[in-house]
Structure 1
């Protein structure tokens, strides 16, 4: 086997790993680069491998930094199967067309307002490209061996990050490789914990929180305090959320807070993300993967007013507080939340609350670093609103939780590759594994190729 790292090295985005075995070429994950401009430019660069020569793609999960490059791959000639869990397939059916729609919408907006350096500004891919991609999805069940041909076998195991998310294990008759994807948490309020894996010859492990431990405090307490302070100022609380995972978790927490009278029950809550609405409906189809009952799933829908149309979204920007708005994307890098930031970030009565990891180069990261202004649609908008973070709502395991999960291996892998982390976090994860487990650890570089023997 030969493994080439086409993404998620030195960054938490752009996950792509090319695995070669004999004449077979398998791409594990196919994500978009996000954040810093030099990373985003890679989305437009020619892929180092001809998409038409890739035999199959395997997805760990549906988040755009793991699946969002698929339509580009298809547009440029890929015609093989895209293997994934059933939940991931259902989520991709809403996420990839939505991603294409946002790109078309942003290109049209840039052309209409004239703030792009490109004339005309073009989307990376279209909704037609996304629809063509969906035809290639091949859902497979968890814990079932799937024949990829030429002696290669695939197995997916639940990893607890979001609906459908999986550990990906590929092996031939001699060697096995395990791709962690994004690892979930053992005590998540929604998702069931990641399954234990006992053996792999080679391991790729994520390191998003390789240098941090999540706070052990109950996030409900801090969330209630932030909501109540904003409501007391008659302000607007804007929460950028990932449409899959964090949106559902926040809705459930707000439901619990209202039910316990920890926050005012009449404070209006708006869910302004069509994709999050669709994802919440899918959530109700996979009770085996999460902890909520059917009744608790219904509570998610009753907690918020659903914002459907663009007109309704625009009207929210003219509304007065107090109110709570949940809107995608989670790093404020695109979607309807960008327009809400533009409307509300300039007022000191309001609060912007981040509840997930913010990659370098995103508006979320800039605001948490204390930026006095953020760039939106070609102009700089002053930041006067309160900026808050609840870090322990993340769907990623921290380094101590990952170390605990790694303790389930019966023997060390021959090599463990640290991926999906910014440089400081990835290096810290390396150090933790070397010092605590005494495993052989490697930090691969972008486009590096290694032999797995």
Structure 2
């Protein structure tokens, strides 16, 4: 008998954790941090809903924080077995987890200094040393190669096209004459997404655990390259500098690749591009190392403009290098984190550049209500930074369609490649509206048996 328990990403888009059990084997698929609403974040601090010492293995789909960010916490509480992932996932996870530990430590220090925590003293969820212990447990596995994290559970990875090193996980429970087949989609990438390969077709399965982040939405059909070229050319006419807030891992590298494509095609001038983020610099080095994951079929790149480098691409790691960018008059591009402009080096650039109408702020992703990025997207006359109300006179432009997630049509296209309907499909990693909309579509148009499990629900897989 096999069972599956949904300890995360159930009726929400965060905290991915799926406990798969067969005979005496216990394997955790993903170990993500809850993010977003306070009621979700508080789950990170509650008791772990399973015995971490009883786990035989953890297997990861990819390196985003909502899929790996809880690993150091379970290691801190006694987990000491293998963590299986691709090489690229391991390398990106180290960058992301070290940054997460730093944020946890800074939050605890701030709470203690201001005295607002109910805990005396406030402590981080985990620290650098927990991350170091976590990284020693990683076991890299190539895609397409069967491995056995715990008998009778066998697994292999297939490219999900979502992030460098990202995978869907094919599973066989080999304790019966014909194996029980399970497929974890992970986060499914987009078709024709920049820099990444298309997601591999789903493998035939008895049970499917599929993400539904964009289950009720479509991405704009506008060409990302065309939209970016138009924005850049308008910005150059203004004569100033372009600021782009981008997530340090994934989005920054995609944007750099798009700029190099446009330069190679002579669609924009060879203007300087600055990556101003230590984390993005580290991630870019990982991307350069794992070039086997790159899909460069969007256009021809000339030798002067390689995908993730070139003579006018500058990586600013140190504070001094970041401050030196302030002297840049333009035209130029500055890519810095954080993605919603809530912190990081982008805030310093905004404070300097926002009052000048020659400059351009480019919105390249979703900006949540209440964030500084949302205020700028909504053209607020002033935006508060470092205790000052800074006037917003710079132009604000949007580049649609940069999400790394498959939209509704992409998900339906991906699922449509299955030769037979699974016995049961579980939709996870989506808000209720998105998951329910996709579930209804699959039930009514394809006759599938679809469920949207609740947090903590345990199901039997026959």
Please, what TM-score do these two structures have when normalized by structure 1? 0.87
1:23-422 alignment, distance < 5 Å: 23-108=24-109, 114=114, 117=117, 122-173=123-174, 174-266=179-271, 268-292=272-296, 298-302=306-310, 303-314=312-323, 316=325, 322-332=331-341, 335-341=344-350, 350-357=359-366, 364=373, 387-422=396-431
**1:392, 1:350 → 2: CA distance?**
23
Counterpart contact for 1:234–1:322, Cα < 8 Å: yes
SS in 1 for 2:33: coil
SS in 2 for 1:170: strand
Counterpart contact for 2:158–2:168, Cα < 8 Å: yes
SS in 2 for 1:35: coil
SS in 2 for 1:424: helix
**2:25, 2:321 → 1: CA distance?**
49
Counterpart contact for 1:110–1:377, Cα < 8 Å: no
What count of residue pairs does the alignment treat as equivalent? 451
Of the structure 1 ranges 376-385 and 59-68, higher mean CA displacement relative to structure 2 is found in 376-385
Paired residue for 2:437? 428
Q: CA deviation at 1:310?
A: 2.6
Structure 1: where are the runs of 5+ without partners? Answer: none
Q: Deviations 1:361-396 (Å, cap 9, x if unpaired)? A: 766567657778878789998876555443322221
SS in 1 for 2:171: strand
Alpha-carbon distance change, 334 to 423 in structure 1, aligned in 2, over 3 angstroms: farther
Alpha-carbon distance change, 167 to 426 in structure 1, aligned in 2, over 3 angstroms: same
Counterpart contact for 2:32–2:70, Cα < 8 Å: yes
Counterpart contact for 1:115–1:378, Cα < 8 Å: no
Structure 2: where are the runs of 5+ without partners? Answer: none
Q: CA deviation at 1:3?
A: 1.6
Of the structure 1 ranges 196-205 and 225-234, higher mean CA displacement relative to structure 2 is found in 225-234
Q: 1:438 aligns with which of 402, 427, 447?
A: 447
Alpha-carbon distance change, 189 to 447 in structure 1, aligned in 2, over 3 angstroms: same
Alpha-carbon distance change, 162 to 41 in structure 1, aligned in 2, over 3 angstroms: same
SS in 1 for 2:220: coil
**1:133, 1:40 → 2: CA distance?**
21
Larger radius of gyration: 2
Counterpart contact for 1:14–1:65, Cα < 8 Å: yes
Alpha-carbon distance change, 271 to 407 in structure 1, aligned in 2, over 3 angstroms: same
Q: CA deviation at 1:275?
A: 2.5
**1:382, 1:50 → 2: CA distance?**
53
**2:125, 2:306 → 1: CA distance?**
36
Counterpart contact for 2:56–2:150, Cα < 8 Å: no
SS in 2 for 1:393: coil
**2:66, 2:107 → 1: CA distance?**
18
SS in 2 for 1:104: helix
Counterpart contact for 2:27–2:59, Cα < 8 Å: yes
**2:187, 2:56 → 1: CA distance?**
24
* 2:457 is equivalent to residue 448 of structure 1: yes
**1:194, 1:129 → 2: CA distance?**
33
Counterpart contact for 2:257–2:307, Cα < 8 Å: yes
SS in 1 for 2:261: helix
Alpha-carbon distance change, 135 to 342 in structure 1, aligned in 2, over 3 angstroms: farther
**2:17, 2:387 → 1: CA distance?**
31
SS in 2 for 1:392: coil
Q: Deviations 1:186-218 (Å, cap 9, x if unpaired)? A: 212311111112311111111122122222221
Alpha-carbon distance change, 261 to 148 in structure 1, aligned in 2, over 3 angstroms: closer
